[in-house]
């Protein structure tokens, strides 16, 4: 297997977690893999970043003190189609399903390896890039309430 470290992605990721140690750790890890990283420990600040900054992907912890991850997914979806990767210690099928139903694009359980994290981020980035350039998407007929948000 190849080593993806030091591969320049030029992708900007927002890391949202209430634990400063986690945001600092993920900032270092993702920076090693070529990501430009913004971090926040507050949900309201995260929503402001998403509304104002050019971001490519978001990582989100479910357990936040101000706005929980499920509500954050809904609020992010109201602002953007940005890919959301939930990283949580909660390993429960019902929780995972409800998180995905709330608007998350993927869910991984802590603890995880750097390689797994990067693989999930790269997968979501590939999918979002393809959807953004898919000619069939522009011609799609959406059911009421299901159309993607404009970029």
Q: Which tens digits make up the pLDDT trace of 3-35?
A: 545 444 689 999 999 999 999 999 999 999 999
Give the Cα separation of 49 and 40 in Å (integer): 9
Encode pLDDT of 102-135 as tens digits.
999 999 999 999 999 999 999 999 988 755 444 4
List, in order, residues 6 or more apart from 111 with CB less than 8 Å away. Answer: none
Q: Superfamily for 12-139?
A: Response regulator (3.40.50.2300)
Give the burial class of 123: count Cβ atoms within 10 A of its Cβ; 0-12 exposed, 13-18 middle, 19 or more buried: middle
Query: pLDDT confidence of 137, banded at 50, 70, 90?
Result: very low
What pLDDT does residue 57 have?
A: 97
What pLDDT does residue 141 have?
A: 57
């Amino acid at each position: 297997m190849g080593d993806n470290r030091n591969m320049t992605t030029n992708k900007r990721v927002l890391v949202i977690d209430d634990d400063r140690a986690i945001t600092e750790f993920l900032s270092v890890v993702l920076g090693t893999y070529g990501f430009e990283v913004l971090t926040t420990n507050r949900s309201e600040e995260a929503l402001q970043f998403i509304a104002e900054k050019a971001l490519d992907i978001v990582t989100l912890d479910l357990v936040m003190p101000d706005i929980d991850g499920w509500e954050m997914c809904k609020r992010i979806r109201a602002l953007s189609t940005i890919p959301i990767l939930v990283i949580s210690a909660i390993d429960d099928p019902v929780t995972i399903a409800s998180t995905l139903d709330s608007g998350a694009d993927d869910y991984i359980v802590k603890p995880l390896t750097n390689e797994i994290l990067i693989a999930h981020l790269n997968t979501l980035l590939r999918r979002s890039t393809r959807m953004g350039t898919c000619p069939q998407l522009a011609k799609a007929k959406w059911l009421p309430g299901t159309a993607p948000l404009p970029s």
